[in-house]
Amino acid sequence: MGESEAEGQATGTEGMARLAGFSDGVFAIAITLLILNIEVPESTASAAVAVAQVIREWPDVLSYVISFLVIGNYWIVHHSIFEDVDSYDRRFLWLNVVYLMFIAFIPFSTSLLGDVPGRFPVIVYAGTLTLTSIVLAVLWRYAWTYDLLDGTVDGEKVRDVTASILTPAVVFAGSILVSFVSAQLAMYSWVLLLFADSARERLLGGETARG
Amino acid sequence: MGESEAEGQATGTEGMARLAGFSDGVFAIAITLLILNIEVPESTASAAVAVAQVIREWPDVLSYVISFLVIGNYWIVHHSIFEDVDSYDRRFLWLNVVYLMFIAFIPFSTSLLGDVPGRFPVIVYAGTLTLTSIVLAVLWRYAWTYDLLDGTVDGEKVRDVTASILTPAVVFAGSILVSFVSAQLAMYSWVLLLFADSARERLLGGETARG
Amino acid sequence: MGESEAEGQATGTEGMARLAGFSDGVFAIAITLLILNIEVPESTASAAVAVAQVIREWPDVLSYVISFLVIGNYWIVHHSIFEDVDSYDRRFLWLNVVYLMFIAFIPFSTSLLGDVPGRFPVIVYAGTLTLTSIVLAVLWRYAWTYDLLDGTVDGEKVRDVTASILTPAVVFAGSILVSFVSAQLAMYSWVLLLFADSARERLLGGETARG
Amino acid sequence: MGESEAEGQATGTEGMARLAGFSDGVFAIAITLLILNIEVPESTASAAVAVAQVIREWPDVLSYVISFLVIGNYWIVHHSIFEDVDSYDRRFLWLNVVYLMFIAFIPFSTSLLGDVPGRFPVIVYAGTLTLTSIVLAVLWRYAWTYDLLDGTVDGEKVRDVTASILTPAVVFAGSILVSFVSAQLAMYSWVLLLFADSARERLLGGETARG
């Protein structure tokens, strides 16, 4: 499984499958842990108090939905990138671990967003996602530079995918600046991502049709 | 892995395996997190107090069993559906993420059910499961409409599976209405699902025998 | 993936792989959640207080080690059984879900064992494991009866494996009786499992050599 | 799946894939649980108090990063070793379970490191990692001794890999001694691992190039 080659590169279906499986495990756990941020009322509370408490937690529910879609999006992009990766080396594994470190950090940033008022949690959340996207772009460029991609990927696709990975980074980094004007406005600016995503889809779709 | 085709469709064993693997991860975590809803007594409590406390938690244990079987059922249906799915596109991935978002929400609804008295948790729980089933039906119809199923699936099977997916949605949505009469009665009505399941099995069994 | 056959049986490598993958996910999460039972001192405690508190938790550490080996053993047996399973039907999937429901319950029983004094947690723990083993034996017999095993498995192996699955059930059920004399003694009796395991290994080893 | 051989050895792609999948699950959960060590402020706290509290938690964030990289490294080494493992027997499975027991213990040691002052958590943390490395070395030597590795692995590679596995054990064991002088200094000594890793990479790289 995974035949070793000169210069430490490894290839082979099982090695790649295990790399993807470990990554998917981290994605699946991080995305499912999000639910733990929504607190359950004490079992001793009366029905009315409990209901009021759950309803007061709607920002937590909103954070859950946003972060589930955000991590889901990172998983889809990771999945899509890994369809083009044919082999890996030690440094690629390390970059992937660092990337997963940011993914696993998202549940913490999410719970700050639901629980702490003001600009600070917005900055932490947007900062986490900006860095996550940048690390993914580095991973992708690394795979291209060290010839880990399959033969059908050309320079144009590499540029398109890089652009689509970095678009959320630009939105989130921008929202950090906006948060100094208004934390609310910064959060609303994330809606731009919906258009960024459809823009990326068009780019990737066109690319795929060409490939 | 996963050859890209025109119009953004992807096929291939590994892409599908990774999609199933990520989904299974979320299912496995959501189903295993259920146990965290059953509280453990403080280690400083005396034996008698601790035993009394555990015994008072029998609704939590009951919720655990119900939700484990409910999520287990969703996994079995998802597994069964994915045996017919041959390829996927970006929108199918997104629908699957939204579906998993509802699956991962079930542990929260479950803990409400065990901890909060009255009609409210029954509505949240039944509402979550109604929506979960509806999203799964949408996922299934999407796969059929956009030709992601393998060639052996015909229109009759698609209708049968849709019906079997939506049967729990009908039971759970109905129990929301019943909860306005009595929360207890609404929970008892879920027992109907046992018959719904056996009905579905007969439908699917017949279908499979034909196929 | 997974070709459907008459009478609802499914076979095929990918269906089985996904069944095993979901089961492994539940095993992996249940076994890793065990660590959450060992409490971390408050970050405001002084070094001396924190150290004393951690040291007082040695029963939790012991519970962690015991339950990790117990769940590890169940995984090894499940893994070994599934090497002989070639296909599955709907009822087999359900039996496996029920089996996993008991596996996922073990972290709760474990935390009772570490935190609550007296006979009660011993009974819950031994009872959980007795039932877990019985459900696994039912799963195994079901696979044999409904012809889901591969052709190389004969009646003698089925009996040997059943015996080896039920040996821990006998030990744990016996320890429940012993706990009415002494909870301590009941826990010591679990050491018998070490010999039971080596006995099973010899049985399985001999079987494998014959096969 | 997994053909049984005389003397209880099993081989075959699916048995190995499941062994790797279960291990990856434990790795993925242990590494993602690390985030739970970073506490989220109470949702009732004011913004200023909450921010101050998060900033005071920087040792927890540092522990998160260190332990994520440490577990990530163990995963990479495990992954790399398993590329050379072709078959397994019952004892190999047990050694792997014991190894995973130490991996799953790391989140607890990590949270001690972030929350408890003084020498004690440093000793627990370094002790956990020393034992983890030793168990992995035993696993690797066992695979070599009982002929579970594929044919391309020679005695020189076995020695090189053993050395690279035990290098962190030496650093961590050494840091326990250093902690009796200064807990701070002991933690700084872990930076040596960065060089140990690059040293190992060179060793493995050379080995791979030869093979």
DSSP for D171-207? HHHHHHHHHTT-HHHHHHHTTHHHHHHHHHHHHHHHH
User: Other CB atoms closer than 10 Å to residue C53's CB: what's the count?
Assistant: 15
Q: Which of B33, D105, D29 is nearest to A30 (CA)?
A: D29
- Which helix (DSSP H) or strand (DSSP E) does residue B88 occupy? strand B87-88
**Of the partner residues C39, C104, C120, the one whose CB lies closest to the CB of residue B32:** C104
- pLDDT at residue A1, as a whole number: 34
**Chain C: touching chains (3 or more CB pairs < 8 Å):** B, D
**Size of chain A in residues:** 211
d(CA A72, CA A66): 10
ipTM score above 0.90: no
At D79-92, the pLDDT tens digits run: 999 999 989 999 99
| CA–CA min distance C101, chain B (Å) | 7
Q: Which of C87, A1, C11, C22 is nearest to D12 (CA)?
A: A1
Q: How confident is the model at residue C5 (pLDDT cuts 50, 70, 90)?
A: very low
The mean pLDDT of C52-61, rounded to a whole number, is: 86
Mutate to test the interface with A, among D31, D70, D148 (most CBs of A within 10 A): D31
Question: In A72-170, where do the E strands start and end?
Answer: 87-88
Residues contacting C126, CB < 8 A, separation 6+:
C172, C173, C175, C176, C179, C186, C190
- Which helix (DSSP H) or strand (DSSP E) does residue C11 occupy? strand C10-11
d(CA A98, CA A104): 10
| Mean pLDDT lowest among A54-68, A168-182, C13-27, C194-208 | C194-208
Say which residue the tokens 């064993």 belong to: B13
| CA–CA min distance A32, chain B (Å) | 6
First to last CA, chain B: 29
**Of the partner residues C21, C32, C43, the one whose CB lies closest to the CB of residue D21:** C21
Q: Which residues of chain B have pLDDT under 70?
A: 1-13, 43-45, 196-211
Query: For strand B10-11 and strand B87-88, is the pairing parallel, antiparallel, or unpaired?
Result: antiparallel
| CA–CA min distance B113, chain C (Å) | 18
Greatest pairwise CA separation for chain C in angstroms: 68
Say which residue the tokens 């163990």 belong to: D74
| CA–CA min distance B33, chain A (Å) | 9
Residues C76 and C82: beta-carbon distance below 8 Å: no
Residues contacting C177, CB < 8 A, separation 6+:
none
**Chain A: touching chains (3 or more CB pairs < 8 Å):** B, D
CB contact under 8 A, D47 and A116: yes
Mutate to test the interface with D, among A18, A23, A34 (most CBs of D within 10 A): A18
Residues contacting D60, CB < 8 A, separation 6+:
D37, D38, D39, D114, D115
Mutate to test the interface with B, among A11, A29, A43 (most CBs of B within 10 A): A43
At A34-80, the pLDDT tens digits run: 999 888 877 666 778 888 888 888 888 988 999 999 999 999 999 99
Residues B60 and B114: beta-carbon distance below 8 Å: yes
Q: How confident is the model at residue C64 (pLDDT cuts 50, 70, 90)?
A: very high
At C70-103, the pLDDT tens digits run: 999 999 999 999 999 989 999 999 999 999 999 9
Say which residue the tokens 């599955």 belong to: C88
d(CA A196, CA A103): 20
Residue B190 gets which letter from DSSP?
A: T
- Which helix (DSSP H) or strand (DSSP E) does residue C102 occupy? helix C90-115
- pLDDT at residue C199, as a whole number: 61
The mean pLDDT value of chain A amounts to 85
More confident residue, A120 or B8: A120
The mean pLDDT of D118-125, rounded to a whole number, is: 92
At C124-157, the pLDDT tens digits run: 999 999 999 999 999 999 999 999 998 889 999 9
Structure tokens at B105: 């929400």
Q: Could you tell me if C59 lies within 8 Å of chain D, comparing CB atoms?
A: no
Structure tokens at A151: 């033969």
Structure tokens at D94: 């047990």
User: Other CB atoms closer than 10 Å to residue A113's CB: what's the count?
Assistant: 22
- pLDDT at residue D175, as a whole number: 94
Say which residue the tokens 């990590």 belong to: D110
The mean pLDDT value of chain D amounts to 85
d(CA C42, CA D105): 19
Backbone angles phi and psi of C45, in degrees to 5: -70, 150
Judged on CB neighbours under 10 Å (0-12, 13-18, 19+), A142 is: middle
At D51-84, the pLDDT tens digits run: 888 888 888 898 899 999 999 999 999 999 999 9
| Mean pLDDT lowest among A40-49, C195-204, D105-114, D146-155 | C195-204
**Of the partner residues D2, D7, D98, the one whose CB lies closest to the CB of residue C209:** D7
The mean pLDDT value of chain B amounts to 85
DSSP bridge pairs for A173: none
d(CA D103, CA D93): 15
The mean pLDDT of C108-122, rounded to a whole number, is: 88
Q: Could you tell me if C71 lies within 8 Å of chain B, comparing CB atoms?
A: no
Q: Could you tell me if D17 lies within 8 Å of chain A, comparing CB atoms?
A: yes
- Contact list in C for residue B79 (CB cut-off 8 A) is 15, 18-19, 22, 93
Residue type at A71 in one-letter notation: I
Q: Could you tell me if C198 lies within 8 Å of chain D, comparing CB atoms?
A: no
Residues B166 and B133: beta-carbon distance below 8 Å: yes
Q: Could you tell me if D69 lies within 8 Å of chain A, comparing CB atoms?
A: yes
Angle between the A90-115 and A58-82 helix axes, to the nearest 10 degrees? Answer: 170
Residues A96 and D75: beta-carbon distance below 8 Å: no
| Mean pLDDT lowest among A7-16, A186-195, B127-136 | A7-16
CB contact under 8 A, B117 and A46: yes
D205 pLDDT above the threshold of 80: no
Backbone angles phi and psi of B87, in degrees to 5: -150, 175
| CA–CA min distance A35, chain D (Å) | 13
Q: Could you tell me if D195 lies within 8 Å of chain C, comparing CB atoms?
A: no
The mean pLDDT of A195-202, rounded to a whole number, is: 63
More confident residue, B55 or A205: B55
- Residues 28..47 of A with a Cβ closer than 8 Å to B: which? 28-29, 31-36, 38, 40-43, 45-47
Q: Which residues of C177-209 are buried (b: 16+ CB within 10 A; e: fewer)?
A: ebbeeebeebbebbebbeebbeebbebbeebbe
C-alpha radius of gyration, chain B, whole number: 20
The mean pLDDT value of chain C amounts to 85
C194 pLDDT above the threshold of 80: no
| CA–CA min distance B208, chain A (Å) | 31
The mean pLDDT of D126-132, rounded to a whole number, is: 96
Query: For strand C87-88 and strand C10-11, is the pairing parallel, antiparallel, or unpaired?
Result: antiparallel
More confident residue, B192 or A89: A89
Q: How confident is the model at residue A12 (pLDDT cuts 50, 70, 90)?
A: low
Residues D111 and C40: beta-carbon distance below 8 Å: yes
**Size of chain D in residues:** 211
CB contact under 8 A, A90 and D201: yes
- pLDDT at residue B102, as a whole number: 97
Query: Residue A208, SS3?
Result: helix
D206 pLDDT above the threshold of 80: no
- Contact list in C for residue B205 (CB cut-off 8 A) is 7-8, 90
d(CA D121, CA D109): 7
d(CA D102, CA C69): 12
Q: Which of A97, C117, B14 is nearest to D72 (CA)?
A: A97
Query: Residue A76, SS3?
Result: helix
- pLDDT at residue B9, as a whole number: 64
Residue B5 gets which letter from DSSP?
A: -
